[in-house]
């Protein structure tokens, strides 16, 4: 196996991104007398209604944290799919408003350009036969179709395919294919140079990832490359992530006969550190031997 590195990115959990939460933790450490004095002063300065809202906020954030932790425990104990089964993914992404074309997940134009320059263009061969899994509103499709001689865009959502067909109506090198969520239908054996999927495998559970890994092995040419963006913590870090971890992604790809080229959560571009995504997401690059 080719050596790889997993750089730990910023923590970015759902609770970390809630700035008021630290105040809740601090408040718990105050002795009762000081708490009463503080509450009295807050009411005196802000009135009972505003203070009631503040109390409601503290209570709701504590309940939300406990609910999230309980969901994680229940999901693991009872092997629940969360919102990441193929049928739920289909329902969710059929109903999504694609007006922003997926750019709502782009933190900055610089980040997107860095993904294109340092990851997409590095691994997607010019003039190759490419597959994109989960194009959504076409956020990466525009770049991929310019690089590849041919691009097969495969999605579980008919609405995504409709939106992309409309957006790329003038392009004659893209084929749009509907998948049940674990197959690359109609893609010929050993015909593909590279596979790209961003912000998709973060939502796909292990059973479907295993089926896809077998499909990667079937459809890639020898030496063909795949780039997958995915979660690393089994759904524990928020963002409605799949049950995959960084380690299980490697395990699943290796079990399908694919070698790991690299795995990372961040990269450096012009002195700036760029993150693969929120919630400790990673990017795994793999190769068919
Ligand atoms: C968050 S969107 C990302 C879209 C696009 N890749 C982007 O980065 O903007 C998730 C996409 O994955 C697709 N998807 C979800 N589960 C899938 C599955 N099992 N197989 C193929 N596509 C899937 C959705 O329909 C949607 O297009």
Contact between 102 and 138 under an 8 Å Cβ cutoff? The reply is: yes
Residues 166 and 256 reside in one and the same domain: yes
Residue 3 burial (10 A CB sphere; 0-12, 13-18, 19+): exposed
Domain boundary pick from 77, 104, 125? 77
With a cut of 70, say whether residue 14 has pLDDT above it: no
- E strands, the chain, are 129-133, 150-155, 174-178, 192-197, 220-230, 259-264, 266-269, 272-275, 282-287
Task: Determine the pLDDT at residue 58.
Answer: 87
CA-closest residue to ligand 1 atom 4 = 136
Task: Determine the pLDDT at residue 23.
Answer: 52
* 130 phi, psi to nearest 5 deg: -115, 150
User: Tell me, what CATH number does 122's domain have?
Assistant: 3.40.50.150
Q: Which 8-state DSSP code applies to residue 233?
A: B
Q: Total domain count for the chain?
A: 2
User: What is the average pLDDT across 187-199?
Assistant: 98
**Beta carbon of 160 within 6 Å of any ligand 1 atom:** yes
The answer to the question of residue 5 being in a domain is no
CA distances from 70 to 2, 47, 63, 74 (A): 38, 35, 10, 6
Tens digits of per-residue pLDDT, 83-96? 999 999 999 999 99
Residues 37 and 103 reside in one and the same domain: no
With a cut of 70, say whether residue 5 has pLDDT above it: no
Domain boundary pick from 77, 98, 119? 77
The answer to the question of residue 161 being in a domain is yes
Residues 59 and 176 reside in one and the same domain: no
**Beta carbon of 89 within 6 Å of any ligand 1 atom:** yes
Task: Determine the pLDDT at residue 10.
Answer: 36
CA R_g for the chain: 22
Instruction: Give me 190's structure tokens.
Output: 């050993």
Which pLDDT band holds residue 28 (cuts at 50, 70, 90)?
low
**Ligand 1 test: best mutation among 156, 211, 213, 215, most atoms within 8 Å of CB?**
156
Task: Determine the pLDDT at residue 97.
Answer: 96
The answer to the question of residue 14 being in a domain is no
User: What is the average pLDDT across 243-247?
Assistant: 97
The answer to the question of residue 178 being in a domain is yes
With a cut of 90, say whether residue 2 has pLDDT above it: no
Q: Give me ligand 1 centre to Cα 198, in Å.
A: 8
The answer to the question of residue 216 being in a domain is yes
Residues 30 and 113 reside in one and the same domain: no
User: What single string gives the DSSP state of each residue in 245-275?
Assistant: BHHHHHHHHHHTTPEEEEEESEEEETTEEEE
Q: What percent of the chain has pLDDT over 90?
A: 83
Tens digits of per-residue pLDDT, 230-242? 999 998 887 789 9
Residues 226 and 187 reside in one and the same domain: yes
Residues 168 and 214 reside in one and the same domain: yes
Task: Determine the pLDDT at residue 25.
Answer: 54
Residues 189 and 64 reside in one and the same domain: no
Distance CA 141, CA 131 (A): 10
Residues 140 and 163 reside in one and the same domain: yes
Contact between 225 and 261 under an 8 Å Cβ cutoff? The reply is: yes
Q: Give me ligand 1 centre to Cα 75, in Å.
A: 22
- Lowest pLDDT segment from 12-21, 134-143, 214-223: 12-21
**Beta carbon of 263 within 6 Å of any ligand 1 atom:** no
CA-closest residue to ligand 1 atom 26 = 136
Smallest CA-to-CA distance from 92 within 20, 144, 42, 156 is with 156
Residue 150 burial (10 A CB sphere; 0-12, 13-18, 19+): middle
Residues 95 and 43 reside in one and the same domain: no
Residues 256 and 143 reside in one and the same domain: yes
Element (H, E) at 26: helix 21-28
With a cut of 70, say whether residue 249 has pLDDT above it: yes
Residues 146 and 247 reside in one and the same domain: yes
Domain range for 45 is: 21-77
Distance CA 282, CA 278 (A): 9
Contact between 34 and 42 under an 8 Å Cβ cutoff? The reply is: no
Residues 106 and 65 reside in one and the same domain: no
**Beta carbon of 115 within 6 Å of any ligand 1 atom:** no
User: What is the average pLDDT across 23-44?
Assistant: 80
Distance CA 282, CA 230 (A): 5
């Amino acid at each position: 196996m080719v050596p790889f590195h997993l750089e730990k990115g910023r923590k970015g959990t759902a609770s970390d991104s809630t700035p008021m939460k630290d105040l809740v933790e601090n408040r718990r450490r105050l002795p009762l007398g000081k708490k009463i004095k503080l509450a009295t002063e807050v009411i005196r300065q802000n009135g009972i209604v505003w203070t009631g809202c503040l109390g409601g906020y503290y209570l709701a954030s504590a309940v939300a944290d406990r609910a999230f932790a309980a969901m994680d425990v229940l999901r693991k104990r009872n092997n629940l799919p969360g919102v990441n089964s193929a049928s739920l993914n289909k329902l969710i992404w059929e109903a999504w408003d694609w007006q922003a074309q997926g750019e709502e997940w782009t933190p900055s134009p610089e980040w997107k350009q860095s993904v294109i320059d340092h990851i997409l263009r590095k691994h997607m061969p010019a003039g190759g036969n490419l597959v994109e899994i989960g194009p959504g509103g076409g956020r990466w499709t525009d770049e991929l179709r310019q690089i590849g001689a041919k691009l097969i865009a495969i999605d579980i959502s008919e609405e995504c395919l409709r939106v992309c067909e409309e957006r790329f109506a003038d392009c004659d090198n893209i084929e749009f294919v509907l998948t049940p969520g674990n197959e690359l239908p109609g893609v010929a054996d050993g015909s593909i140079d590279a596979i790209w999927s961003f912000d998709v495998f973060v939502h796909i559970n292990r059973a479907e990832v295993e089926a896809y890994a077998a499909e990667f092995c079937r459809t890639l040419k020898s030496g063909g490359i795949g780039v997958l963006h995915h979660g690393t913590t089994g759904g524990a870090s928020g963002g409605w992530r799949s049950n995959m971890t960084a380690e299980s992604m490697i395990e699943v790809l290796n079990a399908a006969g694919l070698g790991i080229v690299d795995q990372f959560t961040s990269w450096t571009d012009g002195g700036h550190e760029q993150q693969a995504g929120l919630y400790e997401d990673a990017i795994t690059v793999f190769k068919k031997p």
